Amino acid sequence: MAEPKEYVATYTGKMAVCACGRSRTMPFCDGRHRGTGKVPIKFPVEEGKTYLLCQCGYSDNKPFCDGSHDMSAGSPFGRKSKGTSW
């Protein structure tokens, strides 16, 4: 089970999370998607604000965690992601 990644923004601007699965800095994009046809998910951040980022690929609110990883809500095994899987 993949728990969400807690991220505290160190600046105000835009952040990009990986959508291709190749990043070595998961969940953040490091540019390795080039040539894959995948595009990172970008979102605005505010300095000092905390964000919970999806790590399981099942969230309906990517890049943010919506609790879909929680086994108590039903096993994610066999589920298909409804969007970008990373």
Please give the structure tokens belonging to residue 62. 């990517």
- Using pLDDT thresholds of 50, 70 and 90, give the confidence band for residue 78: very low
CB-CB contact of 64 with 52 (8 Å): yes
The answer, yes or no, to whether residue 81 has pLDDT greater than 60, is no
Give me the half-sphere count of Cα atoms (radius 13 Å) on the Cβ side of residue 30.
8
Query: Cα–Cα distances in Å, from 29 out to 40, 65, 83?
Result: 6, 17, 17
The mean pLDDT of 59-76, rounded to a whole number, is 77
Query: Model confidence over 35-53: pLDDT tens digits?
Result: 999 999 999 999 999 999 9
pTM higher than 0.75, yes or no?
Answer: no
CB-CB contact of 30 with 57 (8 Å): no
